[in-house]
Chains A and B, each alone.
Chain A
Amino acid sequence: MNRSGAVGITVHAVSKRFVIGGRPETLRDLIPAGVRAVIGRRAPPRAERWALRDVSFSIGPGDTLGLLGPNGAGKSTLLRILSRILRPTTGHVEVRGRIAALIELSAGFHFELTGRENVFLQGAVFGLSRREIAHHLDAIVDFAGVAPFIDVPLKRYSTGMVARLGFAIAAHVDTEILLVDEVLAVGDAGFQRKAIAHIRRLVRDGRPVVLVSHNLERLAELCSRALLLRDGRVAAAGTPAECIAAYIAGDDLPPERRNGRPVHIGALSLRSAPSMRCGERLMLHLAGVVSPRPSECRTTVAVRVRALPSEEAVFRTDAVACGAMLPESGAFNLEIGLDMNVGPGFYRIESLVGEPDSTSEWARGPTLLVRVERRPATVGRAYLNPAMRLLGEP
């Protein structure tokens, strides 16, 4: 795909093994290890974990690769290998171009030093010469919006100011390849807009970008290609939409069944399309059984909606609240309707057994995944069903 020599990264069958524990960390720990070796006893077993297994891909000019996958899938490990912080256990990586990693923007900061001194230090960490930094100093300070505090020690800065300063320095590194790890999660909305505009600019210039984000919508928007990692292996590779679909599909939680509960949920199914636009009504069907045993506590079935992949619970309600009384015993069928007045994204609908009007969760039933698509010219985390009309002449 790449002509050799063009700016880019080629990853050849990279695997990374971490050894957890079992390794002496002090000279004092070496003494029992030595004694064990002398008397022929075996060392305590070490745990091994393969954070990456046989990962290969390649990116070149104009490619923006999104890395996605659940926590612990190996995304950050891969990024740290690309930026040379870690060495692969087997396989190798070819990097053609000057690389800048926006992994930890404040790594080189020292909080006793002033903002100005830190700009020079951190700029050097990113590979800038003193002259280049002096040249960009005003622009950096301006971008970060910390001009009045530039000669104040960094320990007096707010967290947001530190993050902005870190990004401002990184943004002025003349990089050929950019690695971004979730740094966009810091800072306020205005800062995030600036950061995204900066990444877009690099993409437009045809610089290869590797982006890790849990924000699937943003990934779909910024990236031209994607790679889904699961347990260190490449689970899917292709367009962002394909990888997001594969990620979401595998994210379905297995139903958790606990015995001894008076209500059992058998099935949860969709009665409308799995994909809808903001504000449209989602229809569900829930089938369950109430066991004939008498129970002391009040029990009902509830539905909970979680935003993915943040897992934030955005809504919960139960059958009692909706005026649906379950039978004393025997099978029941429940029709559920929800207006999806939420922002665009992926949502998991969970069914569960619990007390009415509470957050209790005694047993979880099946879950479903749905996608909510943006309506044109609307932005936000909620959909407020807007209406505007011009009134007649006053």
Chain B
Amino acid sequence: MHVSAYATSVQPASLGGLRSAAAEVAGNRELFYSLVRRELALRYRHAPIGVAWALFMPLLTTVIFSLVFTRVVRLDTAAPYPVFAYSGLLAWHFFASTLRAASTSLSAHGSLITKVYFPRELLPLSSLVTALADFAVGAVVLGAMMAVFGIRPTVALVFLPVVIGVQVAFTAGLAFLLALGNALYRDLRHVVEVVLTLWMYATAVLYPVDRIGGIIGGVLQVNPMTVIVEAHRSVLLYGELPATLPFALTALLSVLVLAGGWLVFHRGEGDLAERI
């Protein structure tokens, strides 16, 4: 008699272990690659200069703010302003475009969710990896800008994967929550837009926030995205490791956000086919 290696149990919603959820995601990595490939293929099909499109917005913002903060108001930054701004925008865009795409990742794939079973985590995660691809393209441009402004990377660069890892964990945790949230409440994505806009100005993307005092300054300092963006600049531009305590705390927070977000997602995903 044929005995199968596969065995699954379909049960009412329960707080299943994340380990089995992660194992299932890993078991479906082929589908995951296909989803990412599809995202990229569709994007670059409709814009023949697709790669340029991924770079266009950060570059445009960099040019505008460079004019403002070098010609109109002089701003003291630790690196030449265009490089300072572009590096911040690059990290920020990775974060923001993941969350934007992840918010609609479930609601846009309603037909897939109601008709086929697969671990639903793959959809927000593929939004993240697609944004990571844009980040990689942008990093090449940043390298070129650093060369133009004569900034040499130091050995601190080897710490960059850790910084990116922390950002990925933080972003993925939020992406899970927003994907599920927007599947249940269709207008959440509008709120996401507003919050992301405000959040960007509360982050050290286009200007340093370390000299802002008072309560506002305090809030801006503990903002985990400020810590992450500054960590990018530390290892890339300043050639030093990020400040230990804030970065360690942010890393811990990111792991907690990831675990919490995934748990909530895992608990809610079973009812998605009925609610989408």
Contacts and interface: CB of A to CB of B under 8 A. Distances in A.
Interface of A: 3, 5-7, 18, 23-30, 61, 80-99, 101, 103-104, 107-108, 110, 112-113, 117, 120-121, 124-125, 127-130, 176, 206
Contacts of B35: 121, 124
B2 A7 contact: yes
B187 interface: yes
Nearest to A92: B11
B4 interface: yes
B132 to A, nearest CB: 20
B2 A206 contact: yes
Interface in B140-167: none
Nearest to A126: B116
B27 to A, nearest CB: 9
A134 to B, nearest CB: 12
Contacts of B113: 85
A38 to B, nearest CB: 19
Contact of A117 (B4, B38, B118, B275): B38
A27 B191 contact: yes
A52 to B, nearest CB: 12
Contacts, number: 129
A96 B2 CA distance: 10
B42 A110 contact: yes
Given A95-B10, A96-B6, A96-B7, A113 B38 contact: yes
B8 A87 contact: no
Interface residues of B, number: 42
Contact of A125 (B11, B112, B184): B112
Contact of A95 (B1, B9, B30, B45): B9
Interface string B86-129: 00000000000000000000000001111111100000000000
A129 B275 CA distance: 30
B273 A124 contact: no
Given A6-B1, A92-B9, A95-B9, A87 B270 contact: yes
B49 interface: no
A92 B12 contact: yes
Nearest to A153: B45
B187 A26 contact: yes
Q: Which of A7, A18, A27, A128 has the most CB of B within 10 A?
A: A27
A27 B11 contact: no
Contacts of A112: 42, 45
B185 A26 contact: yes
A94 B7 contact: yes
Interface in B154-211: 184-188, 191
B9 A93 contact: yes
A125 B116 contact: yes
Interface string B8-40: 111111000000000000001011011101100
Given A110-B38, A130-B33, A89 B12 contact: yes
Given A110-B38, A176-B2, 8 more contacts: A6-B1, A85-B117, A87-B11, A87-B12, A88-B10, A108-B112, A112-B42, A113-B38
B215 interface: no
A107 B115 CA distance: 6
B41 interface: yes
B73 interface: no
Nearest to A105: B115
Given A6-B3, A87-B13, A117-B38, A124 B30 contact: yes
18 contacts: A3-B1, A6-B3, A26-B185, A29-B185, A81-B10, A84-B117, A95-B8, A96-B7, A97-B7, A101-B117, A103-B116, A104-B111, A110-B42, A112-B45, A124-B31, A129-B30, A176-B4, A206-B2
Contact of B34 (A24, A61, A84, A120): A120
A88 B12 contact: yes
B11 A25 contact: no
A104 B37 CA distance: 22
A104 B12 contact: no
Contacts of A128: 30
Contacts of A110: 38, 42
Q: Which of B9, B10, B271 has the most CB of A within 10 A?
A: B10
Contacts of A82: 10
A107 B31 CA distance: 14
Contact of B112 (A7, A80, A96, A107): A107
A88 B9 CA distance: 11
Given A85-B115, A104-B115, A28 B6 contact: no
